[in-house]
Amino acid sequence: MVFTDRRGGVSRGPYESLNLGILTDDDQESVSQNRRQLAAALGCDTERVAMGWQVHGHEILEWREPPRNGGFADAGAELRKVDGHTTTLTGVPLLVLVADCMPVALVGSGRVAMLHCGWRGLAAGILEKGLELFDEPPRAVLGPCIGACCYEVGEEVLVEFDDLQGVANGRMLSLSLVAQQKLLARGVTKIESFPLCTSCRPDLFFSHRRDDGVTGRQAGLVWLT
């Protein structure tokens, strides 16, 4: 399992430097180069990295074979519109792209899942759908995301989580606490999370909110060996 940060790539300007998001105004060749570098560092084939076209929904795609013309290797490939991935295959890294949203890895025996969790996905139940894939409660690892220090939201967002205790301080919402409460309520006891806020750390992370949308994407990946 890996959560990337923005260091170590070739992109410039607001995308400096390991931008993995092709749907940004970054130079496409730089993004492709960054993706190849990441795959090489992980010792995997770019062709075997599974990803989707994220729509802030709750659909999870089961990969029963490695991707063909995967969108990670080929920027022009057609992607399924999903926000989560799961597989029982070995050597198929599941990837989500984020820039404030939370990448969540679920690891069970013989199965992994990677979920793109923003407030919309969490409200739509993507975590609960992910947990249904596992016979036993999996281990959960919550990647770096925007913290309650920087994530002011409107009433329409807060109301989605008003059944949860202590996840917001006024209008400042913690995606991490939302996820942790949802996981605990469903029997997940092994939960790890990163204390770093993507918005507070421009040296380490891309942040959609901080950079007003002009920013790159970091990734969460998980795979079975």
Binding range to Zn ion, per CB under 5 A, among 34-42, 113-121, 192-200, 209-217: 192-200
Task: Specify the stretch interacting with Zn ion by CB under 5 A; choose among 22-30, 136-144, 167-175, 199-207.
Answer: 199-207
> Would you report the helix, strand and coil content of the chain in percent, each value rounded to 5?
25, 25, 55
3-state secondary structure of 122: helix
Smallest distance, Zn ion to C-beta of residue 191, A: 21
Q: How long, in residues, is the chain?
A: 225
**Of the two residues 58 and 208, which places its CB atom closer to Zn ion in the complex?**
208
| Binding flag, residue 164, Zn ion (CB under 5 A) | no
Minimum distance of Zn ion from residue 178's CB (angstroms): 16
Q: Does 149 bind Zn ion (CB under 5 A)?
A: yes
CB contact at 8 A, 8 and 203: no
State the alpha helices, DSSP H only, in the chain: 28-42, 119-124, 126-131, 155-158, 175-185
Distance of closest approach, residue 87 Cβ to Zn ion, in angstroms: 33
Per CB under 5 A, contacts with Zn ion among 108-147 are: 147
| DSSP code, position 213 | T
Contacts with Zn ion by CB under 5 A lie at 147, 149-150, 197, 199-200
